[in-house]
Copies of this chain bind each other. A is one copy, B any other.
Amino acid sequence: MRCDLAQTLKEHGIKPSVQRMAVAHYVLATDEHPSADQVFAAVRRTLPMLSRATIYNTLNLFVQKGLLRELVLAPGKVVFDPKLDRHHHFIEDATGRIHDVPWDAVRVSKVDALEGFDVREYQVVMRGRASRRAH
């Protein structure tokens, strides 16, 4: 996977660089939904001179190029999600923790027939308690 990273970036029209590789390495590998600051902290461990501006530039570039999705699910919580496959999201009331919900776990119908709207993408956002083991 490591050696494919540069390739993955190029496929999305992103010129690879040390910093971008490091960000991609972290953010594409994790199961978490990290915030910009979490990414900053994590990548900084391997690249201590990394600047805050670069993190934001890079994350925004990735979003723009379709490599990441930007999720805004709770006040003050912007979070990034590797855009591998479509899925929905479940947010725990108590902790704010975000879980992925498989695309097929719920079914949404009639979205395409929406009068007056041309839906490019959609997702279901659910809130509540995690009733069993944390997924």
A residues in contact (CB < 8 Å) with B = 70, 72-78, 90, 93, 99, 101, 105-111, 114-133, 135
Known: A105-B114, A109-B107. A122 touches B120 (CB 8 A): no
- 7 more contacts with CB within 8 A, not counting A106-B108, A124-B124, are A72-B73, A72-B75, A105-B115, A111-B124, A115-B132, A117-B135, A122-B124
- Taking a contact as CB atoms under 8 Å apart, the answer to whether A120 and B129 are in contact is yes
The CA of A101 and the CA of B108, in the complex, are separated in Å by: 14
Interchain Cβ contacts under 8 Å between A and B, 8 examples? A75-B78, A99-B117, A106-B109, A107-B110, A108-B124, A118-B130, A122-B126, A123-B124
Q: What DSSP secondary structure best describes chain A's contact surface?
A: strand
Q: A59 CB to closest chain B CB, in angstroms?
A: 11
- Taking a contact as CB atoms under 8 Å apart, the answer to whether B111 and A126 are in contact is yes
Known: A108-B107, A109-B107, A124-B108. A116 touches B131 (CB 8 A): yes
- Taking a contact as CB atoms under 8 Å apart, the answer to whether A90 and B117 are in contact is yes
**Chain B residue with the shortest CB-CB distance to A117:** B90
